[in-house]
Structure 1
Amino acid sequence: MLFRRRKPADMWERTRTFVWPRRSFWRSAQYYAKRVLRLNATPHAIAAGIASGVFVSFMPFLGFHFIFAAVFAWVLAGNLLASAIGTAIGNPITFPLIWASTYELGSFLLGTGRPGASETIHFGRMLRHLEFSQLWDPLLKPMTAGGIPLGMAFALGFYLLTRWGVAAFRRQRQRRLAERAMRRALRPAGGAVARG
Protein backbone atom coordinates (compact mmCIF):
# COMPACT_ATOMS: atom_id res chain seq x y z
CA MET A 1 0.00 0.00 0.00
CA LEU A 2 1.07 3.56 -0.58
CA PHE A 3 0.65 4.99 2.95
CA ARG A 4 1.20 1.89 5.07
CA ARG A 5 3.63 2.01 7.99
CA ARG A 6 6.86 0.08 7.60
CA LYS A 7 6.57 -1.35 11.07
CA PRO A 8 2.96 -2.04 12.11
CA ALA A 9 1.88 -0.39 15.37
CA ASP A 10 1.63 -2.76 18.30
CA MET A 11 -1.10 -2.65 20.95
CA TRP A 12 0.91 -0.34 23.24
CA GLU A 13 1.52 2.19 20.44
CA ARG A 14 -2.16 2.23 19.44
CA THR A 15 -3.24 2.72 23.07
CA ARG A 16 -0.74 5.53 23.59
CA THR A 17 -1.84 7.28 20.40
CA PHE A 18 -5.50 6.96 21.41
CA VAL A 19 -4.88 8.52 24.83
CA TRP A 20 -2.21 11.02 23.75
CA PRO A 21 -2.09 11.90 20.01
CA ARG A 22 1.27 11.73 18.26
CA ARG A 23 1.35 15.42 17.33
CA SER A 24 -0.88 17.27 19.82
CA PHE A 25 -4.46 17.67 20.91
CA TRP A 26 -4.64 21.04 19.15
CA ARG A 27 -3.67 19.46 15.83
CA SER A 28 -6.31 16.75 16.31
CA ALA A 29 -8.92 19.42 17.09
CA GLN A 30 -7.94 21.32 13.95
CA TYR A 31 -8.27 18.12 11.91
CA TYR A 32 -11.82 17.52 13.19
CA ALA A 33 -12.74 21.17 12.62
CA LYS A 34 -11.58 20.98 8.99
CA ARG A 35 -13.48 17.73 8.51
CA VAL A 36 -16.65 19.42 9.76
CA LEU A 37 -16.17 22.55 7.64
CA ARG A 38 -15.70 20.49 4.47
CA LEU A 39 -18.79 18.29 4.89
CA ASN A 40 -21.15 18.42 1.94
CA ALA A 41 -24.37 19.59 3.64
CA THR A 42 -26.16 22.77 4.61
CA PRO A 43 -24.81 24.79 7.55
CA HIS A 44 -27.92 23.88 9.55
CA ALA A 45 -27.48 20.16 8.88
CA ILE A 46 -23.83 20.21 9.92
CA ALA A 47 -24.52 22.31 13.03
CA ALA A 48 -27.50 20.16 14.04
CA GLY A 49 -25.39 17.03 13.66
CA ILE A 50 -22.58 18.43 15.80
CA ALA A 51 -25.08 19.63 18.41
CA SER A 52 -26.67 16.17 18.53
CA GLY A 53 -23.31 14.53 19.16
CA VAL A 54 -22.38 17.07 21.84
CA PHE A 55 -25.73 16.64 23.62
CA VAL A 56 -25.48 12.86 23.67
CA SER A 57 -21.93 13.05 25.06
CA PHE A 58 -23.41 14.40 28.29
CA MET A 59 -25.57 11.30 28.75
CA PRO A 60 -24.15 8.44 30.87
CA PHE A 61 -25.03 5.71 28.37
CA LEU A 62 -21.59 4.76 27.06
CA GLY A 63 -21.61 2.54 24.03
CA PHE A 64 -24.82 4.09 22.70
CA HIS A 65 -23.57 7.61 21.97
CA PHE A 66 -23.24 7.09 18.20
CA ILE A 67 -26.69 5.53 17.95
CA PHE A 68 -28.42 8.21 20.03
CA ALA A 69 -26.55 10.98 18.21
CA ALA A 70 -27.64 9.59 14.84
CA VAL A 71 -31.27 9.41 16.01
CA PHE A 72 -31.22 13.00 17.30
CA ALA A 73 -29.49 14.20 14.13
CA TRP A 74 -32.12 12.48 11.99
CA VAL A 75 -34.94 14.10 14.01
CA LEU A 76 -33.31 17.55 13.70
CA ALA A 77 -32.50 17.09 9.97
CA GLY A 78 -28.81 17.03 10.82
CA ASN A 79 -25.87 15.38 9.15
CA LEU A 80 -25.16 11.86 10.47
CA LEU A 81 -21.40 12.09 9.96
CA ALA A 82 -21.35 15.41 11.83
CA SER A 83 -23.23 13.78 14.71
CA ALA A 84 -20.54 11.10 14.96
CA ILE A 85 -17.83 13.78 14.94
CA GLY A 86 -19.75 15.72 17.60
CA THR A 87 -19.52 12.80 20.01
CA ALA A 88 -15.76 13.39 20.13
CA ILE A 89 -16.45 16.04 22.77
CA GLY A 90 -16.81 13.07 25.11
CA ASN A 91 -13.33 11.56 25.33
CA PRO A 92 -11.06 10.15 28.06
CA ILE A 93 -9.95 13.65 29.03
CA THR A 94 -13.39 15.30 29.22
CA PHE A 95 -15.45 12.39 30.57
CA PRO A 96 -14.35 12.80 34.21
CA LEU A 97 -15.37 16.48 34.09
CA ILE A 98 -18.63 15.71 32.30
CA TRP A 99 -19.57 12.88 34.65
CA ALA A 100 -18.75 14.80 37.81
CA SER A 101 -20.66 17.91 36.71
CA THR A 102 -23.71 15.97 35.48
CA TYR A 103 -23.82 13.91 38.69
CA GLU A 104 -23.53 16.96 40.94
CA LEU A 105 -26.13 18.97 39.00
CA GLY A 106 -28.48 15.97 38.78
CA SER A 107 -28.21 15.32 42.51
CA PHE A 108 -29.03 18.97 43.15
CA LEU A 109 -31.99 18.99 40.72
CA LEU A 110 -33.44 15.75 42.06
CA GLY A 111 -32.90 16.80 45.66
CA THR A 112 -31.19 13.55 46.56
CA GLY A 113 -29.23 15.12 49.37
CA ARG A 114 -26.34 17.49 49.39
CA PRO A 115 -24.28 17.05 46.19
CA GLY A 116 -21.19 14.99 46.91
CA ALA A 117 -22.54 13.61 50.20
CA SER A 118 -24.00 10.36 48.93
CA GLU A 119 -23.39 6.90 50.27
CA THR A 120 -20.65 4.76 48.79
CA ILE A 121 -21.56 3.16 45.47
CA HIS A 122 -20.03 -0.27 44.84
CA PHE A 123 -19.82 0.17 41.09
CA GLY A 124 -17.71 -2.93 40.39
CA ARG A 125 -20.04 -5.21 42.33
CA MET A 126 -23.10 -3.81 40.54
CA LEU A 127 -21.53 -4.41 37.15
CA ARG A 128 -20.34 -7.86 38.12
CA HIS A 129 -23.84 -8.92 39.17
CA LEU A 130 -25.56 -6.82 36.46
CA GLU A 131 -27.81 -5.07 38.96
CA PHE A 132 -28.97 -2.26 36.69
CA SER A 133 -31.86 -1.32 38.99
CA GLN A 134 -29.41 -0.66 41.81
CA LEU A 135 -27.15 1.29 39.47
CA TRP A 136 -29.97 3.48 38.09
CA ASP A 137 -31.14 5.28 41.25
CA PRO A 138 -27.85 6.24 42.88
CA LEU A 139 -25.79 6.95 39.72
CA LEU A 140 -27.43 6.94 36.29
CA LYS A 141 -30.60 8.82 37.23
CA PRO A 142 -28.77 11.88 38.64
CA MET A 143 -26.28 11.83 35.75
CA THR A 144 -29.14 11.76 33.23
CA ALA A 145 -31.04 14.53 35.03
CA GLY A 146 -27.92 16.69 35.15
CA GLY A 147 -26.82 15.76 31.65
CA ILE A 148 -29.98 17.04 29.96
CA PRO A 149 -29.63 20.77 30.87
CA LEU A 150 -25.83 20.76 30.58
CA GLY A 151 -25.98 18.90 27.28
CA MET A 152 -28.60 21.27 25.90
CA ALA A 153 -26.55 24.33 26.89
CA PHE A 154 -23.35 22.99 25.31
CA ALA A 155 -25.25 21.71 22.24
CA LEU A 156 -26.79 25.14 21.67
CA GLY A 157 -23.37 26.78 21.95
CA PHE A 158 -21.80 24.30 19.54
CA TYR A 159 -24.76 24.67 17.15
CA LEU A 160 -24.35 28.44 16.94
CA LEU A 161 -20.56 28.27 16.67
CA THR A 162 -20.62 25.54 14.02
CA ARG A 163 -23.31 27.19 11.90
CA TRP A 164 -21.45 30.51 11.96
CA GLY A 165 -18.12 28.77 11.21
CA VAL A 166 -19.45 26.77 8.27
CA ALA A 167 -21.18 29.81 6.75
CA ALA A 168 -18.03 31.97 7.14
CA PHE A 169 -15.81 29.21 5.71
CA ARG A 170 -18.03 28.86 2.65
CA ARG A 171 -18.22 32.62 2.05
CA GLN A 172 -14.43 32.85 2.22
CA ARG A 173 -14.06 29.88 -0.11
CA GLN A 174 -16.49 31.39 -2.66
CA ARG A 175 -14.55 34.66 -2.53
CA ARG A 176 -11.24 32.85 -3.13
CA LEU A 177 -12.70 30.93 -6.06
CA ALA A 178 -14.14 34.11 -7.56
CA GLU A 179 -10.80 35.91 -7.23
CA ARG A 180 -8.98 32.99 -8.83
CA ALA A 181 -11.48 32.91 -11.72
CA MET A 182 -11.09 36.68 -12.15
CA ARG A 183 -7.29 36.42 -12.29
CA ARG A 184 -7.55 33.61 -14.81
CA ALA A 185 -9.94 35.64 -16.99
CA LEU A 186 -7.70 38.73 -16.91
CA ARG A 187 -4.54 36.79 -17.72
CA PRO A 188 -3.42 37.44 -21.32
CA ALA A 189 -3.49 34.48 -23.63
CA GLY A 190 0.30 34.17 -23.91
CA GLY A 191 0.23 30.58 -25.03
CA ALA A 192 -1.48 31.30 -28.33
CA VAL A 193 0.97 32.35 -31.06
CA ALA A 194 -0.41 34.10 -34.13
CA ARG A 195 0.43 32.29 -37.33
CA GLY A 196 0.94 34.29 -40.49
Structure 2
Amino acid sequence: MRITASPHAIAAGLAIGVFAAFTPFFGFHFIIAVILAYLLAGNIGAAALGTAVANPLTLPFIWGGTYELGRFVISGGNADGAGSLNLVRALETMRFTEIWTPLIKPMLLGSTILGALFAVLVYGVTRVCVTGFRKKQAENRMSRQLMRRESRIS
Protein backbone atom coordinates (compact mmCIF):
# COMPACT_ATOMS: atom_id res chain seq x y z
CA MET A 1 0.00 0.00 0.00
CA ARG A 2 2.92 2.35 0.52
CA ILE A 3 4.50 1.81 -2.91
CA THR A 4 4.57 5.17 -4.68
CA ALA A 5 3.60 3.84 -8.12
CA SER A 6 0.16 4.25 -9.68
CA PRO A 7 -2.62 1.88 -8.60
CA HIS A 8 -2.48 0.29 -12.06
CA ALA A 9 1.29 -0.33 -11.86
CA ILE A 10 1.00 -1.84 -8.37
CA ALA A 11 -1.94 -4.04 -9.32
CA ALA A 12 -0.29 -5.10 -12.58
CA GLY A 13 2.97 -5.92 -10.81
CA LEU A 14 1.28 -8.00 -8.14
CA ALA A 15 -0.83 -9.80 -10.75
CA ILE A 16 2.27 -10.53 -12.83
CA GLY A 17 4.01 -11.96 -9.76
CA VAL A 18 1.04 -14.21 -9.03
CA PHE A 19 0.97 -15.35 -12.66
CA ALA A 20 4.69 -16.17 -12.53
CA ALA A 21 4.20 -18.09 -9.27
CA PHE A 22 1.88 -20.50 -11.08
CA THR A 23 4.48 -21.50 -13.67
CA PRO A 24 6.20 -24.86 -13.16
CA PHE A 25 9.63 -23.19 -13.37
CA PHE A 26 10.36 -23.24 -9.66
CA GLY A 27 13.41 -21.16 -8.87
CA PHE A 28 12.74 -18.82 -11.78
CA HIS A 29 9.49 -17.24 -10.58
CA PHE A 30 11.22 -14.05 -9.46
CA ILE A 31 13.14 -13.67 -12.72
CA ILE A 32 10.01 -14.32 -14.81
CA ALA A 33 8.03 -11.79 -12.74
CA VAL A 34 10.67 -9.07 -12.97
CA ILE A 35 11.04 -9.46 -16.74
CA LEU A 36 7.27 -9.47 -17.32
CA ALA A 37 6.75 -6.51 -14.97
CA TYR A 38 9.40 -4.54 -16.83
CA LEU A 39 7.90 -5.39 -20.23
CA LEU A 40 4.30 -4.71 -19.15
CA ALA A 41 5.00 -1.55 -17.07
CA GLY A 42 4.07 -3.18 -13.77
CA ASN A 43 5.76 -2.33 -10.51
CA ILE A 44 8.77 -4.62 -10.07
CA GLY A 45 8.58 -4.61 -6.27
CA ALA A 46 4.93 -5.63 -6.35
CA ALA A 47 5.77 -8.34 -8.90
CA ALA A 48 8.44 -9.73 -6.60
CA LEU A 49 5.96 -9.70 -3.74
CA GLY A 50 3.38 -11.54 -5.86
CA THR A 51 5.74 -14.47 -6.37
CA ALA A 52 5.38 -15.23 -2.66
CA VAL A 53 2.11 -16.96 -3.56
CA ALA A 54 4.30 -19.95 -4.47
CA ASN A 55 5.52 -21.14 -1.09
CA PRO A 56 5.88 -24.55 0.56
CA LEU A 57 2.27 -24.46 1.76
CA THR A 58 0.71 -23.59 -1.61
CA LEU A 59 3.00 -25.29 -4.14
CA PRO A 60 1.49 -28.77 -3.81
CA PHE A 61 -1.95 -27.30 -4.55
CA ILE A 62 -0.68 -25.09 -7.38
CA TRP A 63 1.27 -27.91 -9.03
CA GLY A 64 -1.53 -30.43 -8.57
CA GLY A 65 -4.13 -28.00 -9.87
CA THR A 66 -2.09 -26.91 -12.89
CA TYR A 67 -1.20 -30.49 -13.78
CA GLU A 68 -4.76 -31.79 -13.49
CA LEU A 69 -6.28 -28.85 -15.37
CA GLY A 70 -3.70 -29.13 -18.15
CA ARG A 71 -4.20 -32.89 -18.37
CA PHE A 72 -7.97 -32.42 -18.50
CA VAL A 73 -7.76 -29.79 -21.27
CA ILE A 74 -5.26 -31.80 -23.34
CA SER A 75 -7.27 -34.99 -23.07
CA GLY A 76 -10.54 -33.22 -23.86
CA GLY A 77 -12.06 -34.35 -20.57
CA ASN A 78 -11.06 -37.98 -21.10
CA ALA A 79 -8.98 -39.14 -18.12
CA ASP A 80 -7.10 -41.72 -20.23
CA GLY A 81 -6.37 -39.29 -23.07
CA ALA A 82 -3.17 -37.83 -21.60
CA GLY A 83 0.17 -39.63 -21.70
CA SER A 84 0.94 -41.79 -18.71
CA LEU A 85 3.49 -40.50 -16.26
CA ASN A 86 6.15 -42.61 -14.61
CA LEU A 87 7.76 -39.79 -12.64
CA VAL A 88 10.52 -41.89 -11.09
CA ARG A 89 11.65 -43.26 -14.45
CA ALA A 90 11.40 -39.84 -16.11
CA LEU A 91 13.47 -38.18 -13.41
CA GLU A 92 16.06 -40.98 -13.44
CA THR A 93 16.81 -40.50 -17.12
CA MET A 94 16.09 -36.74 -17.15
CA ARG A 95 15.32 -36.90 -20.83
CA PHE A 96 13.28 -33.90 -21.84
CA THR A 97 11.25 -35.94 -24.31
CA GLU A 98 10.16 -38.33 -21.56
CA ILE A 99 8.86 -35.60 -19.25
CA TRP A 100 7.52 -33.10 -21.84
CA THR A 101 4.25 -34.78 -22.86
CA PRO A 102 3.21 -36.41 -19.59
CA LEU A 103 4.35 -33.66 -17.17
CA ILE A 104 5.64 -30.33 -18.46
CA LYS A 105 3.13 -29.81 -21.27
CA PRO A 106 0.04 -30.25 -19.03
CA MET A 107 1.59 -28.13 -16.27
CA LEU A 108 2.44 -25.31 -18.69
CA LEU A 109 -1.07 -25.27 -20.11
CA GLY A 110 -2.71 -25.52 -16.70
CA SER A 111 -0.43 -22.88 -15.18
CA THR A 112 -1.20 -20.48 -18.00
CA ILE A 113 -4.94 -20.86 -17.47
CA LEU A 114 -4.95 -20.82 -13.64
CA GLY A 115 -2.23 -18.17 -13.47
CA ALA A 116 -4.18 -15.88 -15.79
CA LEU A 117 -7.40 -16.38 -13.82
CA PHE A 118 -5.75 -15.62 -10.48
CA ALA A 119 -3.79 -12.71 -12.00
CA VAL A 120 -7.01 -11.07 -13.23
CA LEU A 121 -8.61 -11.56 -9.82
CA VAL A 122 -5.57 -10.18 -7.98
CA TYR A 123 -5.36 -7.22 -10.36
CA GLY A 124 -8.98 -6.21 -9.75
CA VAL A 125 -8.88 -6.60 -5.98
CA THR A 126 -5.51 -4.85 -5.66
CA ARG A 127 -6.48 -1.92 -7.87
CA VAL A 128 -9.68 -1.33 -5.87
CA CYS A 129 -7.84 -1.64 -2.54
CA VAL A 130 -4.95 0.66 -3.49
CA THR A 131 -7.30 3.28 -4.94
CA GLY A 132 -9.50 3.16 -1.83
CA PHE A 133 -6.49 3.30 0.50
CA ARG A 134 -5.07 6.34 -1.27
CA LYS A 135 -8.44 8.09 -1.29
CA LYS A 136 -8.78 7.51 2.45
CA GLN A 137 -5.23 8.80 3.00
CA ALA A 138 -6.04 11.98 1.05
CA GLU A 139 -9.22 12.49 3.06
CA ASN A 140 -7.32 12.05 6.32
CA ARG A 141 -4.67 14.54 5.18
CA MET A 142 -7.33 17.11 4.28
CA SER A 143 -9.07 16.57 7.61
CA ARG A 144 -5.82 17.12 9.54
CA GLN A 145 -5.05 20.26 7.54
CA LEU A 146 -8.51 21.66 8.25
CA MET A 147 -8.12 20.92 11.95
CA ARG A 148 -4.72 22.69 12.01
CA ARG A 149 -6.16 25.75 10.26
CA GLU A 150 -9.08 25.89 12.67
CA SER A 151 -6.78 25.59 15.69
CA ARG A 152 -4.60 28.46 14.37
CA ILE A 153 -7.64 30.68 13.85
CA SER A 154 -9.01 30.05 17.35
Q: Is the 8 A contact 2:85 2:103 kept in 1?
A: no
Tell me, in whole angstroms, the C-alpha distance in 1 between the residues paired with 2:56 and 2:96: 23
174, 190, 193: which is aligned to 2:138? Answer: 174
Alignment of 1:32-181 (within 5 A): 37-111=1-75, 114=79, 119-123=84-88, 126-181=90-145
CA-atom RMSD in angstroms: 2.2
Tell me, in whole angstroms, the C-alpha distance in 1 between the residues paired with 2:16 and 2:136: 26
Q: Deviations 1:56-77 (Å, cap 9, x if unpaired)?
A: 1111011110111112112221
Aligned-pair identity (%): 44
* Higher percent of residues as helix: 2
Gaps of 5+ in 2: none
Q: Is the 8 A contact 2:14 2:49 kept in 1?
A: yes
Tell me, in whole angstroms, the C-alpha distance in 2 between the residues paired with 1:65 and 1:109: 24
When the two structures are superposed, what TM-score results if normalisation uses the length of structure 1? 0.71
What is the CA-CA distance between 1:41 and the residue it aligns to? Answer: 0.2
Higher RCO by CA contacts (8 Å cutoff, separation 6 or greater) = 2
Tell me, in whole angstroms, the C-alpha distance in 2 between the residues paired with 1:132 and 1:46: 37
When the two structures are superposed, what TM-score results if normalisation uses the length of structure 2? 0.89
Tell me, in whole angstroms, the C-alpha distance in 2 between the residues paired with 1:128 and 1:67: 27
- What residue identity is the alignment partner of 2:84? E
Tell me, in whole angstroms, the C-alpha distance in 2 between the residues paired with 1:87 and 1:188: 49
- What residue identity is the alignment partner of 1:114? A
Bigger Rg over Cα:
1
- What residue identity is the alignment partner of 1:149? I
Gaps of 5+ in 1: 1-36, 191-196
Q: Deviations 1:56-103 (Å, cap 9, x if unpaired)?
A: 111101111011111211222100010000011111111111111111
Tell me, in whole angstroms, the C-alpha distance in 1 between the residues paired with 2:117 and 2:85: 30
